[in-house]
Amino acid sequence: MQALRGVSFMVAPAAMVVIVGKSGSGKTTLLNCMGGLDRPDSGRVIYAGRDLHCMPQRELSLFLRRDMGFVFQFGNLLSYLTVFENIAFPLTLNAVADNEKKRRVSELLERIGLADASRALPHELSGGEVQRVAVARALAHRPKLLLADEPTASLDSATGRNLINLMFAMGRESGCTMVLSTHDTEVMDLADQCIRIRDGMVQEGEGRRQ
Ligand SMILES: Nc1ncnc2c1ncn2[C@@H]1O[C@H](COP(=O)(O)OP(=O)(O)OP(=O)(O)O)[C@@H](O)[C@H]1O
Ligand SMILES: [Mg+2]
For residue 200, which atom of ligand 1 is closest to its CA?
14
Provide the pLDDT for residue 105: 97
91 Rama class: left (phi>0) / alpha (psi -120 to 50) / beta: alpha
Helix (H/G/I), strand (E/B), else coil: 193: strand
Average pLDDT over residues 85-108: 95
Helix (H/G/I), strand (E/B), else coil: 84: helix
Count other Cβ atoms within 10 Å, centred on residue 106.
14
CATH of the domain at 33: 3.40.50.300
* Contact status, residue 179 vs residue 148, Cβ threshold 8 Å: yes
Q: Which residues pair with 147 in a beta bridge?
A: 70, 179
In a domain, 141, yes or no: yes
Q: What element of type H or E holds 204?
A: strand 201-206
Average pLDDT over the chain reads 91
Summarised one tens digit per residue, pLDDT across range 57-85 is 999 999 988 999 999 888 789 999 999 99
Summarised one tens digit per residue, pLDDT across range 141-173 is 999 999 999 999 888 888 889 999 999 999 999
CA dist 67 and 122 (Å) reads 25
What's the number of domains the chain is made of?
Answer: 1
In a domain, 75, yes or no: yes
pTM value is 0.92
CA dist 189 and 185 (Å) reads 8
177 lines ligand 1 (CB under 6 A): no
Range of the domain at 183: 16-206
DSSP labels, 2-35: -S--S------TT-EEEEE--TTSSHHHHHHHHT
Q: Is the pLDDT of residue 40 over 80?
A: yes
CA dist 52 and 33 (Å) reads 9
Contacts of 125 (CB under 8 A, 6+ apart): 83, 117, 133
Angle, CA of 149, 21 and 165, to the nearest 5°: 55
In a domain, 148, yes or no: yes
Q: Is the pLDDT of residue 204 over 60?
A: yes
Q: Which residues pair with 177 in a beta bridge?
A: 145
In a domain, 2, yes or no: no
In a domain, 112, yes or no: yes
In a domain, 5, yes or no: no
Which of the pair, 199 or 204, is modelled with greater confidence?
199
Ligand 1 centroid–CA 200 distance in Å is 9
In a domain, 3, yes or no: no
DSSP labels, 42-74: S---EETTEEGGGS-HHHHHHHHHHHEEEE-TT
* Most informative mutation of 2, 25, 72, 149 for ligand 1 (most atoms within 8 A of CB): 25
In a domain, 188, yes or no: yes
pLDDT interval class at 207 (50, 70, 90): low
* Contact status, residue 56 vs residue 83, Cβ threshold 8 Å: no
Smallest CA separation from ligand 1 atom 10, residue: 3
